[in-house]
Every structure is written in C-alpha cells, then in structure tokens.
Amino acid sequence: MNSIRLVLFTRFPTAGTAKTRLIPALGAEGAANVHRRLTERSVKILRQVGQPVEVRFSGGEQDAFGRWLGSDLTYVPQVEGDLTDRLLASIDPAPVIFLGSDTPDLTARHISTAIDMLHKTDVVIGPADDGGYYLIGCAKPYPFLFQDMRWSTEHVLPDTLARLQHHKIGFELLEKLHDCDRPDDLDRWPWLTE
C-alpha cells in the first residue's frame, strides 16, 4: 500500500468564524482561541506519526497557514460547498485518512492504529460520541460514503456503517472519542479555555 495521506480539515482561527457554536459561552475571541489550540494540537499529533500531512484549509491565505502551523505541511485550499464536496475533492489519491480538528482526546496512538488497520481492511472509522465520527480512512476512493449524508446529526455513523455493509466493504472501528463542538462539551477539557 502507498503511504497514507493524513488530511486535516481546518479553518483559520478568526474571531466570529471559528467554533461559532461555542461563541455563546466564550465569545467570538474565546471560541477562536479554542479552535486555534485544537488545530495546533492536532497538527502536533499528526507530525508524530511520520506520514505526509495535508491541511485542507479555509478562512485564510496559504501563507498565513504556513506561518501559523509550519512550512513542513502540504496546504490545499478547501473547495467551495458543503462537507460532501470538500471530502469528495480530497478523496483521491487513496489511501487517505480524514480528520477534523475538534477531538481533544485524539492521540498519535489513535492515528497509528488507524494506519495499521487501513493496511488490513478497506475502511477505518473513529466513532464520536455524538453519533458521527472524528476520523475516517479509506484504502480506496468510496464516494458513496460521503454523498447525501445527514451531516452534523446522530445519523452519520449508523448511515456510514449501513452503506459499508450494503456494499460488503470491510471496516474496523477505533475507540469512541468525544468531540468539542458545543458549550456543554467544554467542561470535559478545562485546559482549552485557560
């Protein structure tokens, strides 16, 4: 198998546009700071794994991302559209592992385990406690996993698993982790707002 691309989706931590669901609890600047910390932590973890890291970015210029996160990463602007469009534009070449930047308990061990699993199966998924996932890896492009999805609902993971079973595609699950999306989530990680 070719080396596995690690693709991180993130946006620039501009107040008012990053982590907007946290703004009622933290204000625009505070929410942007949480996003900045989470993204920086995600990049640090991805660097530890030793695979190519590609940052699919929005909300800022490529030079600004390079200054923020470092010049050793590959930067690709996200396409216009919804999450389906962004994932489909990034799926080839596979194998690829997609991640967001909002899983504070993610470790290098989770990524390494996902890579190991992807050498043995077609799809690997890191389930999130909200019914979605924090990571999905594909050994080959499987566009049907991302088309017509009910994103940001508790249906994402069950729908994904049903599609894999329907297409008789093998998969493995990582340990379930929590995402930091809503004000209620902040109590779990006090260091995010220190």
3 state DSSP class of 8: strand
Confidence of residue 67 (pLDDT cuts 50, 70, 90): very high
Cβ burial, residue 26 (10 Å; 0-12/13-18/19+): middle
pLDDT for 50: 87
- Measure the CA–CA gap between 156 and 150, rounded to whole angstroms: 6
Q: Kindly give the pairing relationship between strand 5-11 and strand 53-58.
A: parallel
How many C-beta atoms lie closer than 10 Å to residue 33's C-beta? 20
> Taking all residues of the chain, what is their mean pLDDT, rounded to a whole number?
95
Task: Say what percent of the chain tops pLDDT 70.
Answer: 99
Residue range 46-66: mean pLDDT, rounded = 95
139-164 pLDDT tens trace: 999 999 999 999 999 999 999 999 99
pLDDT for 2: 64
Name the H helices within the chain.
Answer: 23-47, 62-69, 83-90, 108-118, 156-166
Confidence of residue 1 (pLDDT cuts 50, 70, 90): low
pLDDT for 58: 96
| Neighbouring residues of 191: CB distance < 8 A, sequence distance ≥ 6 | none
Are the C-beta atoms of residues 108 and 53 closer than 8 Å to each other? Answer: no
Residue range 22-32: mean pLDDT, rounded = 96
Quote the pTM value. 0.95
pLDDT for 7: 98
Confidence of residue 33 (pLDDT cuts 50, 70, 90): very high
pLDDT for 3: 85
104-142 pLDDT tens trace: 999 999 999 999 999 999 999 999 999 999 999 999 999
170-194 pLDDT tens trace: 999 999 999 999 999 999 999 999 8
